[in-house]
């Protein structure tokens, strides 16, 4: 499913919890700075240890996140990955592989900083999501 225009991207973004509180103007900004791409099953969106230059937001399909060959998470519509490498310029911490044909919105590193500057609440949402992932990882290690 390819989103054909910016207003369709805005509506899709509005349905994702991380973006749902943004104003229409801010959603339009995110939509304007994102590209929609389609990938086949088996496509590697991110490879552990490689340098990341984009954030991926799943529009459709699912993907598996793994580190050192161990499955860490399953991603579905509305989930996002890649923000850590954009924030700290360090290599990817995990590999993400499409489980089935999928569509994603991609935000490149050039667009990422200005988006955070124009939508400061987005920074807070990213931090909250990252904190939850850290808590989940910590819980998994202690069980």
Q: Between 134 and 83, whose confidence is greater? A: 83
Q: What is the mean pLDDT of residues 82-94?
A: 88
- The SS3 call for residue 14 is helix
Residue 1 lies in a domain: no
106 exposed, middle or buried (CB, 10 Å; 0-12, 13-18, 19+)? middle
Mind listing the pLDDT tens digit for each residue in 65-74? Answer: 999 999 988 9
Question: What's residue 118's pLDDT?
Answer: 78
58 exposed, middle or buried (CB, 10 Å; 0-12, 13-18, 19+)? buried
- Give the domain range for residue 95: 6-142
- CATH classification at residue 112: 2.60.120.10
- What is the pLDDT confidence band of residue 4, given thresholds at 50, 70 and 90? low
Question: Of the spans 15-24, 57-66, 78-87, which averages the highest pLDDT?
Answer: 57-66
Number of domains in the chain: 1
Helix H or strand E encompassing 44? strand 44-46
Phi then psi dihedrals of residue 50, to 5 deg: -85, 160
Question: What's residue 87's pLDDT?
Answer: 83
């Amino acid at each position: 499913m390819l989103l054909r225009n910016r207003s369709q991207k805005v509506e899709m973004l509005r349905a994702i919890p991380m973006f749902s509180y943004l104003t229409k103007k801010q959603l339009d900004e995110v939509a304007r700075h994102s590209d929609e791409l389609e990938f086949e099953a088996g496509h590697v969106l991110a490879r552990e240890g490689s340098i990341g230059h984009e954030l991926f937001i799943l529009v459709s399909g699912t993907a598996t996140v793994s580190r050192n060959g161990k499955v860490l998470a399953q991603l579905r519509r509305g989930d996002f990955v890649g923000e850590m490498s954009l924030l700290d310029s360090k290599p990817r911490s995990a590999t993400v592989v499409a489980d089935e044909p999928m569509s994603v919105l991609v935000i490149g590193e050039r667009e990422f900083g200005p988006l955070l500057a124009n939508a400061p609440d987005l920074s807070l949402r990213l931090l909250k999501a990252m904190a939850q992932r850290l808590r989940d990882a910590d819980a998994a290690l202690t069980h």
